[in-house]
Amino acid sequence: MMRGAAGIVGGGIYFAASEQATRGKAHHRGCIIEARVFLGRTLTVPAAQSGQYTHTSLKAQGYDSVHLTGMGTGDEYIVFNWAQVKPRKIRDMASGRQIPIKHK
């Protein structure tokens, strides 16, 4: 899984805590990915005080992920290393059809 190039706290892989929250946050209607996300030690950051982070900058502070709070659409969890994400299910948002995952 690739991280994005930009975001409210940097170019990471962003997750909501539930499917309902995901639907409220989605800018486009594509797929919902249910994943096991290994957060490790989490840095909690209020959205109003958010900064830009990278995998390297978080590690230097002793953290593995960011928990972004105070968002109108609900909290977000962000990781910056694809190895922290293990997809479990992928579902098309429009049809609800499950899409097979091909693990390497």
In which element (H, E) is residue 37 found?
strand 31-37
State how many domains the chain has.
1
d(CA 86, CA 24): 23
In a domain, 83, yes or no: yes
In a domain, 77, yes or no: yes
Mean pLDDT of 70-86: 90
Residue 97 has pLDDT above 80, yes or no: yes
**Amino acid letter, 64:** D
pLDDT confidence of residue 2: 64
Q: How high is the pLDDT of residue 51?
A: 82
Show the domain range for 43: 13-99
